[in-house]
Amino acid sequence: MNKLKSENRNFYEELKTNKESLSKELKVIASDIIRIYERLNPFFFLTEEIILGSEKVPSLLDKFLELEFAQIDLNQDYIPSEFELSINEKLNVDDLELKLTGKIDRVDINSINSTFKVIDYKTGEPPSKKDYEDKLSFQLPLYLILVKNYLSERFQGFQIDDAEFIKLSPKKRDGLKRISFRNDILKSSDIEFELKSTLKAIAELINHIRKGKFNLTTIERFESRICRKCGYQNICRIDFIKKEATNSEPISEQ
């Protein structure tokens, strides 16, 4: 694991001075991986052009390097320091013990200002501002809590700067983009308030579960925002209730 962290740090050091050479190395590695997946999936070649690029299509790898290079230029004091960081933590919220576990893709640290950022890579669509408002997504707030406690045990005075999604989509229409939790999702500087409200919401959910309260959701567009990704659709009663409601509707006269 320490060797992997060292290699990742070397990657970002080389990116500062030798981007073109790094791009070639990445494409060689990606080509070898693509060959393996093509043997498993005969249609995988369809994504090859998007990942490696061609005369007509820019490489997703090159776009990623450009995105990271621009960020290094803007935030030279931030250094990617932790990768695939696994953390287990116990917290008390309203006399309830929460056991939190997370595996964070990347943590960037600014040792000059004693601040940090959490980075999460996404190949699909990241949660929206509305998802966080409705407390459908807890990922970034929980990651920030875990990393803050993790760093506090090792260093003094580290504070949260931001968390970011980096969307790496193989689909041509989606491309690649960086999404700031503070500026794009919360659109507020008060991250600490969001962390506290997230823990409160989780504690409330756990208490409801312990009391056997499993009310049907009243959240807007729940079919696409919740049910579509749910692994418990086969035992959920929401479809049964929808069918009952449909069958009980009065038949209008023609």
pLDDT in tens, the chain (254 residues): 454 455 566 777 777 788 888 888 888 888 888 888 888 887 777 778 778 888 777 788 888 888 888 887 777 788 888 989 999 989 888 888 888 889 999 999 998 889 999 999 988 888 888 888 888 889 999 999 999 999 988 888 889 999 999 988 766 566 688 899 999 998 877 899 999 999 999 998 888 888 888 776 777 777 777 777 777 777 777 766 766 666 655 544 44
What is the model's pLDDT at position 25? 86
User: Same domain for 122 and 217?
Assistant: yes
User: Same domain for 84 and 158?
Assistant: yes
Domain containing 1 equals 1-74
Q: Are 113 and 171 in contact (CB under 8 A)?
A: no
User: Same domain for 216 and 147?
Assistant: yes
Token pair recorded at residue 89: 């933590």
Three-state DSSP class for 125?
coil
- Determine, yes or no, domain membership for 242: no
User: Same domain for 87 and 188?
Assistant: yes
What is the model's pLDDT at position 3? 46
Q: What are phi and psi of 77, to 5 degrees?
A: -80, -10
Give the DSSP H/E element, type plus range, for residue 37. Answer: helix 19-40
- Determine, yes or no, domain membership for 41: yes
User: Same domain for 41 and 80?
Assistant: no
- Determine, yes or no, domain membership for 193: yes
Q: pTM for this one?
A: 0.80
Alpha-carbon gap, residue 136 to 249, rounded angstroms: 31
What is the model's pLDDT at position 249? 54
Q: What are phi and psi of 44, to 5 degrees?
A: -65, -20
What is the model's pLDDT at position 254? 41
Q: Are 57 and 175 in contact (CB under 8 A)?
A: no
What is the model's pLDDT at position 151? 92
- Determine, yes or no, domain membership for 238: no
Q: Considering 74, 97, 128, which residue would you say is the last residue of a domain? A: 74
Total number of domains in the chain: 2
User: Same domain for 180 and 164?
Assistant: yes
How many CA atoms does the CB half-sphere of 207 hold within 13 Å?
11
Give the DSSP H/E element, type plus range, for residue 178. Answer: strand 176-180
User: Same domain for 87 and 146?
Assistant: yes
- Determine, yes or no, domain membership for 244: no
Q: Considering 50, 74, 98, which residue would you say is the last residue of a domain? A: 74
User: Same domain for 64 and 84?
Assistant: no
Alpha-carbon gap, residue 136 to 141, rounded angstroms: 12
User: Same domain for 209 and 84?
Assistant: yes
